Amino acid sequence: MRGGIAMTGRHLPRINIVMVLYLLFLMLPIYWLANMSLKTNTEILGGFSLWPRDLTFANYAKILGDPAWYMGYVNSIIYVSMNTVLSVAVALPAAYAFSRYRFMGDKHLFFWLLTNRMAPPAVFALPFFQLYSSVGLFDTHIAVALAHTLFNVPLAVWILEGFMRGVPKEIDETAYIDGYSFPRFFVKIFMPLIASGVGVAAFFCFMFSWVELLLSRTLTSVDAKPIAATMTRTVSASGMDWGVLAAAGVLTILPGALVIWFVRNYIAKGFALGRV
Amino acid sequence: MTLTLDGVSKVVNGQVHIHPTELTFAPGTMNVLLGPTLAGKTSLMRLMAGLDVPATGRILWQGTDVTGMRVQDRAVAMVYQQFINYPSMSVYDNIASPLRLQGKSRTEIDRAVQETAAMMKLTPMLARKPLELSGGQQQRCALARALVKGAGLVLLDEPLANLDYKLREELRLEIPRIFEAAGSIFVYATTEPEEALLLGGNTATLWEGRVTQFGPTPQVYRQPKDATTARVFSDPPMNFLAVTKAGDSIGFGAGQKAPAIGSLAGLADGRYLAGFRPNHLEIDRPEGAAMAFEARLKVTEITGSETFVHLDHHGERWVGLIHGVRDLELGAELRVWLDPAHVYVFSTDGALVAPAAYALAA
């Protein structure tokens, strides 16, 4: 209960304390990761230190200099981008159809899409492994990208449909009356109106594909090995290379943080599947 | 450039939205579709535009069958009740977009856009985005886009309904001027009889998916073909009184009688429906012959210079429009007067038997 201006002065520090504690708990793991990445292995194993006594960038240098490491990032970025483009490209016409037309079973089909997300990815690891191996797609980027579309296309359809529903159908009709063909209307008039929706859908596809480990690890071995797999498999003869692993972790967080920055204003609408 | 609807109907999920309709709009005419909400105005317009395909019948444009032709290939323009513009384009680009699609040259487009913008008073706003404009300006932008195309058929679906009172009046005065300049067939849907009368031209009255009457607006207003048309083309709706003609008197209500005068005099004996418009009901006894009714006053609405009185006359709800502000006691019996020259006579199934004498004289 706030009792007017006089009380605010007394309450403000307490709110600050709560906030600081909250942020502390939130940031601590990330700080610790960054902290570790800047230490030497001896210091990490040697004892407790809040900040690097012996500041080193050797861990980062190792990752950025060794193809075995940085190719993990390249591979991840390749299949994540492929997946994002593929998912959004497939979801756009589907979402348009769901938002604009009534057809037999449309509501059931729309819900069925979402049920695809109810199964854990692990369920599909075995069939996908066998399937992609038998058609010769094993250890390729497109294999992982395709596997992830199973989860991302439904999500993208739901998000985009929500955004498209917000655009009045009369705009479509006016455009046709004005003489726009469907493709031209879609690109010139419709896309700018749902641009934020496309951004949010792409972000969610990116996020899922970027963090998903099981499928991407099962479907790859060398050529398309993602960074997450590289990280979890790195145990050298001399034991764990703690510092390098921490540096890899920091570099893995960065792309996500970067992408979030671009869609931060629309993210809430995306979490509500575009339905706010 | 003539538009003909030949037995056009529309059925949605087994429900008839538009009954088979015959309409012909002559070149360069203003045509008003008048009817209450859900009467089928928008459905009919969508059929004319080619946005929907009729269940039966043909749509002819200059004698050519255009039924089922792609809307892009039809020479139509449409303005909706909502302010529909392309939000991502500037006002200039909005107006220019139909011309760009027609492949006109840059100078030609610029000339047409500037001209139309000037007519719609949008010249200072050309660089802005539609959503940065007021509602009235947004609708002007939509109108400009519809006009710049030079389409032979311009469909306006309640274009003023979402505007506030002041802007609505302002834009309504301009529509006849715009129409004159365009020289196309205009089809204008509205729920308001007043708008139809102000726009003139022809009026088609709609009721539950049927065109009840189509003709010059004043004629439809003065000589409605049936009770439904009269009800639609009167705001507040026309009042009705079931009467029985016997000899030289009429009976109504619970055994009341009145001398059969005016349009009632020449009728054969039998049962009829008498109708009169709210503005013809009077509280003060008029000069000359008049019929008197006793009715109970239920509600009064004072709109500044006029008073609407809602009356209960033996179970029938009547509305009267009285000039001036009257201080009347609610629930009291009120004596109201009606000049028989203002009475329309309909048969019991609604067809017009005798129009009011004043309407014939006018």
Question: What percent of chain A stands above pLDDT 70?
Answer: 91
A116 and A29 fall within a common domain: no
Report the SS3 class of residue B55: coil
For residues A85 and A138, membership in a common domain is answered with yes
For chain B, what is the mean pLDDT? 90
Q: Which of B230, B258, B274 is the last residue of a domain?
A: B230
pLDDT tens across A109-131, in order?
888 888 877 888 888 889 999 99
| A158 and A208 assigned to the same domain | yes
Task: Band the pLDDT of A2: cuts 50, 70, 90.
Answer: very low
pLDDT tens profile A59-77? 899 888 888 888 989 999 9
Point out the least confidently predicted range of A39-53, A94-108, B266-280. Answer: A39-53
CB spacing of B98 vs A178 below 8 angstroms: yes
Residue A276's pLDDT is what? Answer: 53
Instruction: Work out the average pLDDT over A14-24.
Output: 87
**Phi and psi based region of residue B62 (left: phi greater than 0; alpha: psi -120 to 50; beta: remaining):** left
A220 shares a domain with A164: yes
Residue A108 resides in a domain: yes
Does A178 contact B145 at a Cβ distance shorter than 8 Å? yes
Q: Is B145 on the interface with A (CB under 8 A)?
A: yes
B277 lies in the same domain as B293: yes
Same domain for B106 and B170?
A: yes
pLDDT tops 80 at residue B362: no
Domain count, chain A: 2
pLDDT for A182 equals: 93
Comparing A157-161, A254-258, B199-203, the range with the smallest average pLDDT is A254-258
Residues 6 or more apart in contact with residue A143 via CB below 8 angstroms: A128, A132, A137, A219, A220, A224
Q: Residue B162 sits in a domain of what CATH number?
A: 3.40.50.300
Does residue A4 surpass a pLDDT of 60?
no
Contact A176/B at CB under 8 A: yes
Mutate which of A101, A171, A176, A178 to disrupt the B interface (most B C-beta within 10 Å)?
A: A178
Question: Which residues 6+ apart lie within 8 Å of A119 measured at CB?
Answer: none
Please tell me the predicted confidence (pLDDT) of residue A1.
Answer: 42
Share above pLDDT 90 across residues of chain A, in percent, rounded to a whole number: 38
Q: Is A9 part of any domain?
A: yes
d(CA B49, CA B80): 12
For chain A, say whether B72 makes contact (Cβ under 8 Å).
yes
Domain end point (choices B169, B197, B230):
B230
C-alpha separations of A209 from A46, B86, B345 in Å? 37, 35, 77
Whether the CB of A168 is below 8 Å from some CB of chain B: the reply is yes
CA distances to A75, A155, A220 from A111, rounded to whole Å, are 33, 11, 32
Do A81 and A207 belong to one domain?
yes
Query: What local confidence, expressed as pLDDT, does residue A274 receive?
Result: 62
Q: What secondary structure, in 3-state letters, does chain A show?
A: CCCCHHHHHHHHHHHHHHHHHHHHHHHHHHHHHHHHHCCCHHHHHHCCCCCCCCCCCHHHHHHHHCHHHHHHHHHHHHHHHHHHHHHHHHHHHHHHHHHHCCCCCHHHHHHHHHHHHHCCHHHHHHHHHHHHHHCCCCCCHHHHHHHHHHHHHHHHHHHHHHHHHCCCHHHHHHHHHHCCCHHHHHHHHHHHHCHHHHHHHHHHHHHHHHHCCHHHHHCCCCCCCCHHHHHHHCCECCECCHHHHHHHHHHHHHHHHHHHHHHCCCHHHHHCCCCC
Q: What is the pLDDT of residue B206?
A: 95
Q: pLDDT > 70: what percent of chain B? A: 100
B184 and B287 fall within a common domain: no
Q: What is the pLDDT of residue A275?
A: 65
CA dihedral (B173, B175, B180, B186) positive or negative: negative
Please report whether residue A131 resides in a domain.
yes
Q: Does one domain contain both A11 and A147? A: no
A11 & A131 share domain: no
Say whether pLDDT at A196 is over 50: yes
Is A192 within the bounds of a domain?
yes
pTM above 0.90, yes or no: no
Same domain (yes/no): B223, B305: no
Closest C-alpha to B102, from B51, B148, B66, B155 = B148
Residue A52 placed within a domain: no
Of the listed ranges A10-19, A81-90, A98-107, B115-124, the one predicted with least confidence: A10-19
Task: Collect all residues with Cβ–Cβ distance below 8 Å to B321 and sequence separation of at least 6.
Answer: B236, B278, B279, B281, B306, B307, B308
User: Which residue carries 């790859």 as its tokens?
Assistant: A220
CATH number at residue A105: 1.10.3720.10
Cα→Cα distances A58→A38, A40, A61, A62, A158, Å: 8, 8, 5, 6, 45
d(CA B285, CA B88): 62
Is residue A248 a part of any domain in this protein?
yes
Q: Which helix or strand (DSSP H or E) is residue B147 part of?
A: helix B135-148
Average pLDDT along chain A: 86
A257 and A164 within one domain: yes
Question: In this structure, what CATH number is given to the domain that contains residue B307?
Answer: 2.40.50.140
In the prediction, which pLDDT does B36 show? 92
The whole-number pLDDT of residue B53 equals: 92
pLDDT tens for A222-245 read 888 888 888 876 666 566 788 888
On whether both B179 and B240 belong to a single domain, the answer is no
Q: Nearest to residue B6, comparing CAs of B57, B46, B50?
A: B57
Do residues A213 and A161 both lie within one domain?
A: yes
Question: Of B205, B230, B255, which closes a domain?
Answer: B230
For residues B162 and B294, membership in a common domain is answered with: no
Return the pLDDT at B137: 92
Helix (H, G, I), strand (E, B) or coil at B345: strand
Same domain, B182 and B263: no
CB within 8 Å: A177 and B71: yes
Higher pLDDT, residue B46 or A1: B46
Residues of A with CB below 8 A from B82's CB?
Answer: 168, 170
Chains A & B: contacts with CB separation below 8 Å: 49
Are A83 and A172 within one domain?
yes
Residues paired with B275 in a beta bridge:
B240, B344
Amino acid at position B106, single letter: R
Q: Which residue has the tokens 């038998």?
A: A134
Residue A179 to residue B72, Cβ atoms within 8 A: yes
Name the phi and psi angles at B353, rounded to 5: -100, -50
Asked if B152 and B48 sit in the same domain, the reply is yes
d(Cα A97, Cα A164) in Å, to the nearest integer? 10
Contacts of residue B145, Cβ cutoff 8 Å, sequence gap at least 6: A174, A178, B77, B85, B94, B95, B97, B98
Tell me whether B84 touches chain A (CB under 8 Å). Answer: yes
Residue B172 shares a structural domain with residue B255: no
In terms of residue numbers, what domain contains A218?
67-271
pLDDT reading at B170 higher than 90: no
Q: What pLDDT does residue A235 have?
A: 62
Tokens of A191: 């896309």
Q: In the prediction, which pLDDT does B292 show?
A: 86
Quote the CA–CA distance of B39 and B42 in Å, as a whole number: 8
Say yes or no: A231 and A111 in one domain.
yes
Is residue A44, in this structure, part of any structural domain at all? no
Mean pLDDT of A182-203: 91
User: Is there a single domain that holds both residue A153 and residue A79?
Assistant: yes
Q: How many domains, in total, are found in chain B?
A: 2
Q: Is residue B294 pLDDT above 80, yes or no?
A: yes
B78–chain A Cβ distance below 8 A for any pair: yes
How many whole angstroms separate alpha carbon A175 and alpha carbon B72? 9
* Residue count of chain A: 276
Task: Indicate if B225 and B241 belong to the same structural domain.
Answer: no
DSSP H helices, B149-267, are 165-182, 193-199, 217-222, 227-232
Residue of A nearest to B72 (CA): A179
B82/A168 Cβ within 8 A: yes
- Contact predicate A57/A254, CB 8 Å: no
Q: Which tens digits make up the pLDDT trace of B181-230?
A: 888 999 999 999 999 999 989 999 999 999 999 999 999 999 999 999 99
What gap in Å lies between CA A23 and CA A255, rounded to an integer?
21
Q: Is B292 exposed, middle or buried (0-12, 13-18, 19+ CB in 10 A)?
A: exposed
Same domain assignment for residues B216 and B327: no
Q: Among residues B234, B346, B347, B249, which one has the least CA distance to residue B355?
A: B346
* pLDDT(B268) > 80: yes
Mean pLDDT of A147-160: 91
Contacts of A175 in chain B (CB under 8 A): 86
Looking at residue B285, the DSSP 8-state letter turns out to be: P
pLDDT for the residue B55: 93
Close Cβ partners of B180 (under 8 Å, ≥ 6 residues apart): none
The answer to whether the beta carbons of residues B333 and B295 sit under 8 Å apart is: yes
* Structural domain containing residue B47: 3-230
One domain for residues B65 and B168 = yes
pLDDT band at A43 (very low <50, low <70, confident <90, very high): confident
Find the closest chain B residue to A191 by CA distance.
B88
Whether residue B285 is predicted with pLDDT greater than 90 in this model: the reply is no
